[in-house]
Structure 1
């Protein structure tokens, strides 16, 4: 698997492009429509977008990609936030993005997309329906876990205690070390976060 990182949209949220065949790709989140042209520059056609959660800075590019036939998947439990003012579009002075959700998933689901196996891990806390995605040694954490930090919980449906519990019980219990690809800023590893993330104790 190859992974390309493209900060996109109003907050520079990381969009990750995953490809196994160097032709088709799965995007983790989609912060801006420029992700499409970035993928083309790498010789890739985005077939799917998987959303870690429903905040505007991670979904702003979805209408443009959906118009191109890209299938967008979201956690079933995140749909109420995704499709409401709680998605924070108003914070950016923008209209709420409108796009069809082609499929939904739940905790423990295994997705087979573009020749890759991607597992869904429910990690409520930043939002009630937030999820992470695991594919091999690669863990995509959205706004749940960052380099030596964690996601905010002062937005609608956020819960600080639940976020820490999700990280401790759902992520830190994964076997072996994992590369961590967060929704903002730089890559890290689970081993590093277990040792140095002072917010998780």
Structure 2
């Protein structure tokens, strides 16, 4: 889709986004919009014109990582071992959320400055890309009925936010993800190969 913004608006957007990426990397979801404006040398109104909410800013900053995860899901779709493939991809989502500051908040439905009218496009991209992986695993009996990808992404966001200040955030997030996996698995005498850890 062509970009019909004026050249100066495009330059401002690129500059603000570059500064925002550095601020979010340093301070996470609490990055100050006012500090971003000062560093970029623009007014706060200019920042808010491009990014009307903090959620919009976090989504823009996280977009490349989200696109990478979506591409990864598409690459894995159709692989024979549906259980292993789904878990591999979900673990990569966990790892991204733990290491990329601000990403978990970008995926949060009730994020900072949440506006129910504002569509969470990052989450939508992941749900669309990962749906075939979940459906394949469900068809093979590795995911309990009623478990949705939105459920799993919401749990991953919670894990990432809860472990952000842990001494070993990656290790703790991985441990908690194993608990989620066990809970998402079918139960019964014949489900020994359910969606346990990979």
**What is the TM-score of this pair, normalised by structure 1?**
0.26
Greater RCO, CA 8 A, separation 6+: 2
More helix per residue: 2
More strand per residue: 1
Flag the structure with larger Rg. 2
**What is the TM-score of this pair, normalised by structure 2?**
0.26
